[in-house]
Amino acid sequence: MTKAVFIAAAEPYSGKSLVSLGLVNMLLGQARKVGYFKPIIDYDPPQQRDPHIDTVLSYFKLPLNYDDTYAFTRPEALRLMEADAQGELIDQVIHKFKQWEDNYDFTVVEGSDYLGMGTAIEFDANVSIAKNLGVPVILVVSGRARARPR
């Protein structure tokens, strides 16, 4: 049985974080221990905390350590990818995720946000991370400003 799901988007402002919140809310009614993990965050923790992580932790009062909810900041991930060390990035994400998988009934993994530098490689990074974690993916796509078929 799957104990995790990866929520991904193909563009910014797709509603991915809202889907993640709804999924965590639903899971808390079904499972005793729900984890939340975001492999790559946009913010540097000493300067600013990731608002999505803060929202999930505070709203649902999850007893999670903030530093355990992510693996890399965007600049750290970009440095590894530019150094052709994507394998190291994936290995570290898998290692951190496995700690979650063992301690929680179900974990929601939220992909990156497509904000700032490096957005061109984010989709590939999210796909690679989800594939290597071996968890199903929910792809969230915005319907905003899309023409309706006639």
The model's pLDDT over 19-34, given as tens digits with 9 standing for 90+, comes to 999 999 999 999 889 9
Q: Which superfamily is assigned to 22-140 in CATH?
A: P-loop containing nucleotide triphosphate hydrolases (3.40.50.300)
Q: What would the pLDDT profile of 29-61 be if each residue is shown by its tens digit? A: 998 899 999 999 887 777 789 889 999 999 999
Helices (H), the chain: 16-28, 51-59, 74-82, 86-103, 119-133
> Residue 58's pLDDT is what?
94
Q: Residue 114: pLDDT above 70? A: no
pLDDT band at 147 (very low <50, low <70, confident <90, very high): low
How far does Cα 3 stand from its chain's mean position?
A: 15
Per domain, the residue ranges of the chain are 22-140
